[in-house]
Chains A and B, each alone.
Chain A
Amino acid sequence: MKLVMDTANHIAGEAAKAARAEVVAAYPITPQTTVVEYIQKLISNGEFDADFICVESEHSAMAATIGASATGVRTFTATSSHGLLYMHEMLHWAALARLPIVMVNINRTIGPGWNIWADHQDSMAQRDTGWLQFHCGSNQEVFDTVIQSYKIAEAEEIQLPIMVNFDAFILSHTSMPVSIPDQPVIDKFLPKRKPVWKLDSSDPLTHGNIIPPDPYLEIRKSMQESQDKARDLIRTTAEEWKKLTGFWHGGTVEEYRVEDADLVVLAMGTLGSEAKVAVDRLRKERIKAGVFRIRSFRPFPIDEIKKLSEETKLVVVDKALSFGGEGVLYSEVKSALYGRKNEIFGWIAGLGGKDVSWQDLVQMVKAVKDGKAKPVNWQKGGKGAITGFI
């Protein structure tokens, strides 16, 4: 085990190397660029044995990744924000082609106006592409999740691509200590990919030609079944990793002080980590709060959320919005708890990278506790870290 101090972007590159990705295709976009630079540097130094394809767009980055993955090799790519949106068509293609691609997406907001800070609008807009979607709360989790993602994506019963998300700058450009297990440990955990189908001239097949409605529907249903099966596999894969390395970030969710909680904050990414700080403060004031940090947005951890008592009040904090609807996570949580008595409150916060501090989260929980919160609330704009509500 090697202890390093580095940014999540470099750690993502280390993870691609440790996973022995063979083909990497990527296009630069802030704040993902240092992933691309770092991987190129590792390859040119001879430290990482992979072919890097410098493509001319993110649409092509995903197309090239799909082409390489279809030959049976392990592939990696990384993007962010508008790059992810530009890939959108090919994200569907990768999932529908059942290719176990692993991609890092550094969550960044969408323009106009131009803004490079973190929110989740980019990845939430890819909700229905068929990809599994994980959100990380620390640099260690980024490393561990990338490695675990290959194992999950390549499992015979899954065969779907995985997007590993983490927040722009808050993690992407922030150095944190990360322990990297020895390569033989990783190789034992993650053996060479065994493709279920591949392009091979000695065994020709035509992939993706015109398909009538009946088999189409059946094939899409099998994707949903794979997403459902992934829920258990995410947990058991994380448990296996814990046995080997000692690291644990949760299964589909990370639960923090929820056992006796009257109020539970649900959030993703670094906001979920920040919420733990808020909960510790609230506990000091004898307010029984806990955190449900959603690690797997797709598949959505419905059963875990249902385990919460019906008396628990939920505070869902969204860094993304479905315009004309509501917070994306808020909708998901309400849907998971359909027919149950839980009171569910939503906050739209942190859009365009607006800071959401533990102080903000404390206020949100207190507003719910004191009966001052509406079903849907907005973080206020304006100066200062501590903000009020509309």
Chain B
Amino acid sequence: MPLRDLSKEELYLPGSAACAGCGDGIALRIALKALGKDTIFTVPACCTSVIESSYPNTSFGIPVMNIAFAASAACASGIRAGLRRQGKETQVVVWAGDGATYDIGVASLSGAWERETDFLYICYNNQMYSNTGIQRSGATPFGAWTTTTWKGKEESEKDMIAIAMAHRLPYIATATIGYPEDLHRKVQKAKSIPGPKYIEILSPCPPGWRYDMSKTVEMSKLSIATGVWALLEVEEGNITFNGRSKAILEGKIKPKPVEDWLSEQGRFAHLFKPKRDEERINKFKEIVDQKWQRYREGKL
């Protein structure tokens, strides 16, 4: 569906407390257009719990249940059961950051997936604990500066999509805010499928990634163009690629050099200044190359 045809109804209300240029704000606006009014959010501690603004105000036109950091997927199981008892088919959606998803909440998420709760879990991934002031998470990429990795993270991120696949979910997808039509389509599709669904949205973060707040959409698109992030869907275990990522996979276009993505972000500045750190830049490239090699073999 082209952008101009998306619902005109705004369920992510104006006046939110998001930072200027927040990727999550864009993700919320587009996803809520696809989800519609008959939706309940449960939100763990994350940027969104700030973005939703302070009592007695709210940034949401749908019901929102805030819940403790590790607890959102379990809370969703409870909400679904309570609604089922009342014969309501409202969409139950967890909206969580990568810290809640990859780290502290992964056990409760795995539990909700295993017991096949009918809900959509959306992780907006800004690759760090942004809300608490930029600390390393399980989603932080190799080499990135954070306030807990002052010289750059020494490990690579974990593969949350593979973890989701290990639960054999009926629908898994990745998206990013630079491609809102793709995001909208995926949320709509997830909405139509019963059972547990997982969508992960790469959401660039100006204060965390250290780039100018006007460049969030560019950063998102650059993540796809360089192959650092890929747009894909997993249905019944089959992986398909979308948009530019599909063209990269099929060799129709060459990905841009990863340095284009790295060098735009202050969090990787130490890889280039005071002098170029060939070893770590090459390691970063290798991680991305290996990922695409697995993609070409039909694996994650």
Partners in one complex: yes
Interface residues of A (CB under 8 A from B): 22-23, 25, 51, 53-57, 59-61, 63-73, 75, 89-90, 93, 199-201, 203-212, 215
Q: Is the CB of B86 within 8 A of A206?
A: no
Q: Does B232 contact A (CB under 8 A)?
A: no
Query: A71–B76 Cα gap in the complex (Å)?
Result: 11
- Contacting B81 at CB < 8 Å: which of A56, A68, A199, A215? A68
Q: Is the CB of B53 within 8 A of A209?
A: yes
Q: Is the CB of A209 within 8 A of B54?
A: yes
Q: Is the CB of B107 within 8 A of A53?
A: no
Q: Is the CB of B78 within 8 A of A63?
A: yes
Query: A70–B71 Cα gap in the complex (Å)?
Result: 14
Q: Is the CB of B82 within 8 A of A63?
A: no
- Contacting B40 at CB < 8 Å: which of A53, A57, A93, A201? A201
Q: Give B67's nearest chain A residue, CB to CB.
A: A63
Q: Give A56's nearest chain B residue, CB to CB.
A: B111
18 extra A-B contacts, CB within 8 A, seeds A201-B38, A215-B56: A23-B85, A61-B74, A63-B72, A64-B77, A67-B80, A67-B81, A68-B85, A69-B82, A71-B86, A73-B85, A75-B78, A201-B37, A201-B63, A204-B60, A206-B63, A207-B63, A207-B66, A210-B55
Q: Is the CB of B55 within 8 A of A215?
A: yes
Query: A299–B42 Cα gap in the complex (Å)?
Result: 31
- Contacting A67 at CB < 8 Å: which of B37, B38, B78, B88? B78
Query: A72–B83 Cα gap in the complex (Å)?
Result: 9
**Residue picked from B72, B85, B86, B90, most chain A C-beta under 10 Å:** B85
Query: A98–B263 Cα gap in the complex (Å)?
Result: 50
| Known contacts A71-B86, A201-B37, A204-B62; A210/B54 CB under 8 A | yes
Query: A73–B79 Cα gap in the complex (Å)?
Result: 10
Query: A204–B61 Cα gap in the complex (Å)?
Result: 6
Q: Is the CB of A53 within 8 A of B52?
A: no
In the complex, what residues of A have CB within 8 A of residue B88's CB?
A: 71, 201
Majority SS at the chain B contact face: mixed
Q: Does B156 contact A (CB under 8 A)?
A: no
A-B CB contact pairs (8 Å), 23 listed: A23-B78, A23-B82, A25-B77, A25-B78, A25-B81, A54-B115, A55-B77, A55-B115, A60-B107, A63-B75, A63-B108, A64-B77, A67-B42, A67-B79, A70-B82, A199-B65, A199-B82, A201-B38, A201-B63, A206-B64, A207-B63, A209-B55, A210-B55
In the complex, what residues of B have CB within 8 A of residue A209's CB?
A: 49, 52-55, 58, 64, 66
**Residue picked from A73, A208, A212, most chain B C-beta under 10 Å:** A208
Q: Is the CB of B111 within 8 A of A71?
A: no
**B255-298 CB contact bits vs A (8 Å, 1 = yes)?**
00000000000000000000000000000000000000000000
**Residue picked from B37, B74, B85, most chain A C-beta under 10 Å:** B74
Q: Is the CB of B78 within 8 A of A57?
A: no
| Known contacts A23-B81, A71-B86; A63/B58 CB under 8 A | no
Q: Is the CB of B61 within 8 A of A22?
A: no
In the complex, what residues of B have CB within 8 A of residue A55's CB?
A: 74, 77, 111, 115
Interface residues of B (CB under 8 A from A): 37-40, 42, 49-50, 52-56, 58-68, 70-86, 88, 90, 107-108, 110-111, 114-115
Q: Is the CB of B65 within 8 A of A208?
A: yes
Query: A230–B73 Cα gap in the complex (Å)?
Result: 33
In the complex, what residues of B have CB within 8 A of residue A199's CB?
A: 40, 63, 65, 79, 82
**Residue picked from A25, A64, A203, A215, most chain B C-beta under 10 Å:** A64
Q: How many A-B residue pairs have CB under 8 A?
A: 165
Q: Is the CB of A67 within 8 A of B66?
A: no
In the complex, what residues of A have CB within 8 A of residue B115's CB?
A: 53-55
- Contacting A60 at CB < 8 Å: which of B39, B50, B54, B71? B71
| Known contacts A201-B40, A207-B66; A65/B52 CB under 8 A | no
Query: A209–B46 Cα gap in the complex (Å)?
Result: 11
- Contacting B50 at CB < 8 Å: which of A25, A71, A210? A210
In the complex, what residues of B have CB within 8 A of residue A69's CB?
A: 78, 82
Query: A61–B65 Cα gap in the complex (Å)?
Result: 16
Query: A372–B64 Cα gap in the complex (Å)?
Result: 61
In the complex, what residues of B have CB within 8 A of residue A212's CB?
A: 54-55
Question: Nearest Cβ in chain A — how far from B215, in angstroms?
Answer: 28
Question: Nearest Cβ in chain B — how far from A104, in angstroms?
Answer: 18
Question: Nearest Cβ in chain B — how far from A257, in angstroms?
Answer: 46
In the complex, what residues of A have CB within 8 A of residue B70's CB?
A: 59
Query: A68–B74 Cα gap in the complex (Å)?
Result: 10
Ranked nearest first, the 3 interchain pairs of A and B with the lowest CB-CB distance are A67-B78, A71-B82, A56-B111
In the complex, what residues of A have CB within 8 A of residue B52's CB?
A: 206, 209-210
**Residue picked from A23, A63, A65, most chain B C-beta under 10 Å:** A63
Q: Is the CB of B71 within 8 A of A63?
A: yes
Q: Is the CB of A207 within 8 A of B74?
A: no
Query: A93–B90 Cα gap in the complex (Å)?
Result: 24
- Contacting B63 at CB < 8 Å: which of A53, A66, A73, A204? A204
Question: Nearest Cβ in chain B — how far from A269, in angstroms?
Answer: 30
Question: Nearest Cβ in chain B — how far from A50, in angstroms?
Answer: 8
Q: Give B38's nearest chain A residue, CB to CB.
A: A201
In the complex, what residues of B have CB within 8 A of residue A204's CB?
A: 37, 60-64
Question: Nearest Cβ in chain B — how far from A70, in angstroms?
Answer: 5
Q: Give B70's nearest chain A residue, CB to CB.
A: A59
- Contacting B85 at CB < 8 Å: which of A51, A65, A66, A89? A51
Q: Is the CB of B66 within 8 A of A64?
A: no
